[in-house]
Amino acid sequence: MSSYGISFDQETCVSREFTEYCPDLRDVSFNDCISSVKVIGQPWVLYEHPHCQGAQFYFEEGECRSVEWHEVISSLEQVKEDLTNPQITLYEDQNYGGRSITLNCETNLMFGNFNDMISSCRVDRGAWVLYEHPNRDCINSKRITLTPGKDFETQSGFLFFSPYICV
């Protein structure tokens, strides 16, 4: 099944179909203007800055008629990983040390003993969205999308996403 994302610019009434990674929306004259998204197939991640930098916005199959921060989207990429059997390991210490917990489904860490304790993590399978606050709080939370090979370690002095992990 083919997978693609369709983005719409409300101001110009123009829609654009994307079927592959677009590192810089300026190259296709569609920078900082996406106001809604329709995803068919695999999820997509939209980014605040070119080359997948800055804030991230994760969209699963379906329609989103209003995109948060719609005037700042500058790059996008499709999540191509197999999402049927996800797995992530979270570590209390940097360099994948200390206590660890392995997850294979969406989990709210606020109800366990790993809340606000993550210093590094390793994605084994699937794609994971990590949120700073519980209940997929996209408005007030920082968030990051991780896939195998994009392991994460906190920077010193920067407490990172822990309460809510979802696939």
Number of domains in the chain: 2
> Of 44, 59, 78, which residue sits at a domain end?
78
Model confidence pLDDT, tens digit, residues 65-92: 777 666 789 999 999 999 889 999 989 8
Q: Which two tokens stand for residue 144?
A: 């990051």
Greater pLDDT, 129 or 110: 129
What's 77's DSSP letter?
A: E
Q: Which two tokens stand for residue 87?
A: 């797995």
Q: What is the pTM of this model?
A: 0.77
In a shared domain, residues 71 and 96: no
Model confidence pLDDT, tens digit, residues 126-142: 998 887 777 666 666 67
Q: How far is CA 144 from the centre of its chain?
A: 5
In a shared domain, residues 54 and 100: no
Cβ proximity of 127 and 147 under 8 Å? yes
Q: Domain range for residue 153?
A: 87-166
